[in-house]
């Protein structure tokens, strides 16, 4: 079972403030790279206990960014303007810009979060700026405020990198495409996340009995911090899994079965095949969403066991260490923190690239 490394000593004076920090995926990854986290900011009080349990010596600031004033943050954290060693991170909730077909009503307010984050970048003029979001924000550059943000950065002598990256290239055992912007005004170099060496990390490298995950049944409860908790299944879903081939099987195993095939899938061999499917052992997992504990929401079936993956398995596939503590009141609450997180190892790849750039500048 893999555990986190000892706290990385800070070999530089870089420090960061993590806006929209949620449960701390970005903060933890940056901290592992060697960057000091001053604070995480989020309006969701449910994230506070998880953030504080894992991001040591950082303050959790519970506030809606729409209500937070620049001067207030400056005084609270004793920040300085034009600080070359300051990193401002903005990984705003991204449901509004997601390509996933969901009701956007509740997330409409979140579409303006990038513009709110920009207020603080303009005020503090930090050495570095990081933004991470869904690729959809790039396709809607004008509406999301990204065009205006990039224009301001470039007009104020920041060297800006922005692109869509596949996180499995950075040591994360998961296929997940993310828009990433890294801007710096300390050098003329474009900062790009540092890719991992060697083969991609797979599901087999991450979960299973050989990695400390005992075999369990659907509906498994776990009151320990390990959270090997599995959602329960109805009999029909157990019957479907029973005939779904191990290691990557799909609903096609029962597409013509009058009793087992859902009405919308009956007899259909084209279209979306991931629903009710199993993960492959020797590939990175599919994207871990906020519904990864549910078979009906994607290819979230265990490669071998007749169940969906557990909360801890989802977290590990997001590249959280096995001893990362999630303080949640329900499966859905924990899964939302895990699925919405920036994969920590991807955050580390960003952090190391910033450190490398900064060390070359001094």
* β 128-133/177-184 pair status: antiparallel
Q: Tokens in use for 174?
A: 């998961």
Looking at 21, 91, 94, 264, which residue is catalytic? 94
Spatial separation of the C-alpha atoms in residues 137 and 99, rounded to whole Å: 10
Q: Both ends of the chain: CA-CA distance in Å?
A: 39
Q: Tokens in use for 318?
A: 């997001």
Alpha carbon distances (Å) from 130 to 29, 153, 161, 314, 352: 13, 12, 10, 25, 13
Q: Tokens in use for 299?
A: 């290819």
Q: Return the H-helix or E-strand segment holding 331.
A: helix 331-340
* β 59-62/128-133 pair status: unpaired
Does 21 qualify as catalytic in the annotation?
no
Q: Tokens in use for 99?
A: 């390509």
On whether the CB atoms of residues 116 and 65 are closer than 8 A, the answer is yes
Helix (H, G, I), strand (E, B) or coil at 177: strand
**What are all long-range contacts of 54-59, with beta carbons under 8 Å and residues at least 24 apart?**
54/23, 54/24, 54/28, 54/324, 54/325, 55/24, 55/27, 55/28, 55/31, 56/7, 58/27
Q: Which residues are catalytic?
A: 94
């Amino acid at each position: 079972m893999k555990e986190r490394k000892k706290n990385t000593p800070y070999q530089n004076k870089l420090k960061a403030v993590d806006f929209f920090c949620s449960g701390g995926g970005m903060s933890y990854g940056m901290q592992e790279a060697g960057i000091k986290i001053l604070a995480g900011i989020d309006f969701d009080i449910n994230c506070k206990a998880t953030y504080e349990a894992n991001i040591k010596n950082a303050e959790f600031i519970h506030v809606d960014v729409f209500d937070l004033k620049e001067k207030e943050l400056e005084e609270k954290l004793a920040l300085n303007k034009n600080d070359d060693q300051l990193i401002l991170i903005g990984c705003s909730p991204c449901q509004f810009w997601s390509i996933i077909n969901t009701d956007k009503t509740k997330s409409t307010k979140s579409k303006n979060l990038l513009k709110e984050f920009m207020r603080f970048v303009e005020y503090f003029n930090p050495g570095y700026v990081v933004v991470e979001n869904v690729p959809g924000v790039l396709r809607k550059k004008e509406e999301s405020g990204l065009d205006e943000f990039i224009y301001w950065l470039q007009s104020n002598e920041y060297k800006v990198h922005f692109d869509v990256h596949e996180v499995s290239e950075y040591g994360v055992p998961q296929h997940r495409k993310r828009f990433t912007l890294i801007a710096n005004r300390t050098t003329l170099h474009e900062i790009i996340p540092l890719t991992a060496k060697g083969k991609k990390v797979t599901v087999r490298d991450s979960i299973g009995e050989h990695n400390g995950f005992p075999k369990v049944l659907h509906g498994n409860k776990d009151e320990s911090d390990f959270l090997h908790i599995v959602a329960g299944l109805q009999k029909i879903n157990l019957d479907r899994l029973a005939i779904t081939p191990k290691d990557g099987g799909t609903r096609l195993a029962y597409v013509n079965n009058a009793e087992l095939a859902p009405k919308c899938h009956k007899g259909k061999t084209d279209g979306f095949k991931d629903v009710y499917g199993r993960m492959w052992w020797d590939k990175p997992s599919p994207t871990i969403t906020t519904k990864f504990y549910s078979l009906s929401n994607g290819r979230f079936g265990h490669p071998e066991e007749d169940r969906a993956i557990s909360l801890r398995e989802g977290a590990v596939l997001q590249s959280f260490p096995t001893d990362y503590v999630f303080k949640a009141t329900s499966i859905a609450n924990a899964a939302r923190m895990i699925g919405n997180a920036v994969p920590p190892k991807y955050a580390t790849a960003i952090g190391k690239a910033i450190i490398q750039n900064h060390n070359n500048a001094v």
